[in-house]
C-alpha cells in the first residue's frame, strides 16, 4: 500500500495518475461499519479493474472547527494503526490529508473538484452520514449534484447490530464501561494500544507480581480504569498478561494514572521496549486494600482468572 500525505494545496504531480475507486471517511477505529465501506469500495474497484484509494485525515476536524487542543483528543486508531488496518483490507493508496484551516475552507464544490475528481476517482464510496462541509448542503444525497456526471456515487447504508449502530461513538462508550468484548465485537478485531515500557516504582516486584509500566501513545484512547486480561507483544512475541489501568490508590492519593502489565510466565527486564497491548476482558474495578496480604490475595485471584479466561479462548 502506498501512503501519500497531502498538505493543501497540493501539486498535481503528487497524485498517482491512476483511475481509482475512492473510499471517503475519517475511519477512527476502522470498525466493522468502516470495513463495510472499504469492502464495497474494494469490490467496485475489482469490478472496474482499477485501484482502491482511501482518504482520511491526520487529525479530527474538531481541531480546526471547534478549536480543540490537538493533544486532548484520544483516538481508537492512530494514523499508524489506520495504515496497518487499511493495508490488511486491500487498500492500494492511502491519502492522509492534513486537516488545516485552508483545507476546511474549501466549498463543497471545490472539495469535490480537487479531492475526488482531482484524485482521479471514477466512483466515490462513503457511509450514509458522510459530509464534506455543512451537513445540510454537503452530504451523500447532494454529492451527485456536485459530481456533475464525472464519477459515480455509492452510498453505504448504516450497519447495526441489535438495533445499535456500529459506530466509533458506541465503541467508545463500551470501552468507558469496561465492556471490551462488546467493543471488540463492533471493531471486528481486538483493541490494542502501542507504548513504551518505562520505569515505575517497582512495587509489583516486591509483591511477587512485577509489572511492565507501559507509557502509551499520547493520542490513544485508554479503556476504563480497572484490571483486564490482556496480551502483550514484546520483541515480536505475544504473552498473556493481566493489566491494571489505575492510580495505585492502595499506596497513596493523587497519583497519575498508569498502565501496568504483569506478564505471565515472564521474567525479563524490558525497559525501553516498544510493546503492543491487546485488551480482551475486564476482570474487576480498581480497589483499595487495607493490607498487603489483601492485595496479594487479590492479585493471585486475578492471575487465576486471567489464566482461566485465556484457557477458555483456546477451547
- What's the pLDDT at 1? 97
User: What is the four-CA torsion angle of 27, 28, 34, 39, rounded to 10 degrees?
Assistant: 60
Q: Which residue from 48, 39, 27 is spatially nearest to 90, judged by alpha carbons?
A: 39
Characterize 252-281 residue by residue with b for buried, 16 or more Cβ atoms within 10 angstroms of its Cβ, and e for exposed. eeeeeebbbbbbbebeeeeeebebebbbbb
Tell me the C-alpha distance between 105 and 21, whole Å: 25
Look up the CATH number of the domain holding residue 81: 3.40.50.620
pLDDT band at 253 (very low <50, low <70, confident <90, very high): confident
Q: Which domain holds residue 220?
A: 190-314
Q: What is the mean pLDDT of the chain?
A: 94
Tell me the C-alpha distance between 93 and 234, whole Å: 30
- What's the pLDDT at 204? 61
Q: Inform me whether the pLDDT recorded for 3 exceeds 90.
A: yes
User: Percentage of residues in the chain with pLDDT exceeding 70?
Assistant: 96
Last residue of a domain, one of 161, 179, 214: 161
pLDDT digits (tens, 9 = 90+) for 224-242: 999 999 999 999 999 999 9
Q: Is 194 exposed, middle or buried (0-12, 13-18, 19+ CB in 10 A)?
A: middle
Q: Taking a C-beta distance cutoff of 8 angstroms, is the pair 305, 229 a contact?
A: yes
Residue 167 lies in a domain: no
Tell me the C-alpha distance between 255 and 9, whole Å: 46
pLDDT digits (tens, 9 = 90+) for 150-198: 999 999 999 999 899 999 999 999 999 999 999 999 999 999 999 999 9
Residues 154 and 202 in one domain: no
Q: What are the contacts of 62-71 at 24+ separation with CB within 8 A? A: 63/99, 64/99, 64/100, 64/101, 64/104, 65/104, 71/218, 71/219
DSSP letter at 134 equals S
User: Percentage of residues in the chain with pLDDT exceeding 90?
Assistant: 83
Residue 197 lies in a domain: yes
Residues 206 and 147 in one domain: no
Q: Inform me whether the pLDDT recorded for 66 exceeds 90.
A: no
pLDDT digits (tens, 9 = 90+) for 279-315: 999 999 998 887 788 889 999 999 999 999 999 988 6
Tell me the C-alpha distance between 43 and 224, whole Å: 37
Backbone angles phi, psi at 237, to 5 degrees: -125, 135
Please tell me the total count of domains within the chain. Answer: 2
241-256 average pLDDT score: 83
| In the block, residue with C-alpha cell 493508496 | 93
68-74 average pLDDT score: 83
Contacts with 71 (C-beta within 8 Å, 6 or more apart), sequence order? 218, 219
Taking the complete model, does pTM exceed 0.75, yes or no? yes
- What are the beta bridge partners of residue 160? 165
Residue 13 lies in a domain: yes
Residue 119 lies in a domain: yes
Cell of 301: 485471584
Residue 173 lies in a domain: no
Residues 71 and 151 in one domain: yes
DSSP string, 239-278: EEEEEEEE--TTT-SSPPPEEEEEETT-----TT-EEEEE
Amino acid at each position: 500500500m502506498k501512503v501519500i500525505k497531502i498538505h493543501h494545496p497540493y501539486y498535481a504531480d503528487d497524485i498517482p495518475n491512476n483511475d481509482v475507486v475512492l473510499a471517503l471517511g475519517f475511519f477512527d477505529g476502522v470498525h466493522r461499519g468502516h470495513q463495510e465501506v472499504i469492502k464495497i469500495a474494494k469490490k467496485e474497484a475489482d469490478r472496474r479493474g482499477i485501484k482502491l484509494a482511501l482518504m482520511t485525515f491526520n487529525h479530527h476536524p474538531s481541531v480546526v472547527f471547534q478549536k480543540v487542543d490537538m493533544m486532548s483528543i484520544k483516538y481508537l486508531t492512530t494514523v499508524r494503526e489506520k495504515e496497518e488496518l487499511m493495508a490488511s483490507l486491500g487498500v492500494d493508496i492511502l491519502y492522509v490529508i492534513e486537516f488545516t484551516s485552508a483545507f476546511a475552507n474549501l466549498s463543497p464544490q471545490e472539495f469535490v473538484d480537487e479531492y475526488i475528481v482531482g484524485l482521479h476517482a471514477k466512483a466515490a464510496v462513503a457511509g450514509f452520514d458522510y459530509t464534506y462541509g455543512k451537513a445540510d448542503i454537503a452530504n451523500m444525497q447532494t454529492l451527485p449534484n456536485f459530481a456533475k456526471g464525472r464519477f459515480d456515487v455509492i452510498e453505504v447504508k448504516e450497519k447495526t447490530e441489535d438495533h445499535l449502530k456500529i459506530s466509533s461513538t458506541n465503541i467508545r462508550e463500551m470501552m468507558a464501561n469496561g465492556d471490551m468484548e462488546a467493543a471488540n465485537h463492533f471493531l471486528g478485531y481486538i483493541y490494542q494500544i502501542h507504548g513504551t515500557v518505562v520505569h515505575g516504582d517497582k512495587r509489583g516486584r516486591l509483591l511477587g507480581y512485577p509489572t511492565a509500566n507501559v507509557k502509551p501513545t499520547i493520542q490513544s484512547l485508554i479503556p476504563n480504569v480497572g484490571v483486564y486480561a490482556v496480551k502483550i507483544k514484546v520483541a515480536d512475541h505475544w504473552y498473556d498478561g493481566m493489566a491494571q489501568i489505575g492510580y495505585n490508590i492502595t499506596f497513596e492519593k493523587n497519583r497519575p494514572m498508569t498502565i501496568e502489565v504483569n506478564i505471565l510466565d515472564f521474567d525479563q527486564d524490558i525497559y525501553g521496549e516498544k510493546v503492543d497491548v491487546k485488551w480482551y476482558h475486564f476482570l474487576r474495578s480498581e480497589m483499595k486494600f487495607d493490607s498487603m496480604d489483601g492485595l496479594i490475595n487479590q492479585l493471585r485471584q486475578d492471575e487465576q482468572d486471567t489464566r482461566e479466561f485465556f484457557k477458555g479462548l483456546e477451547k
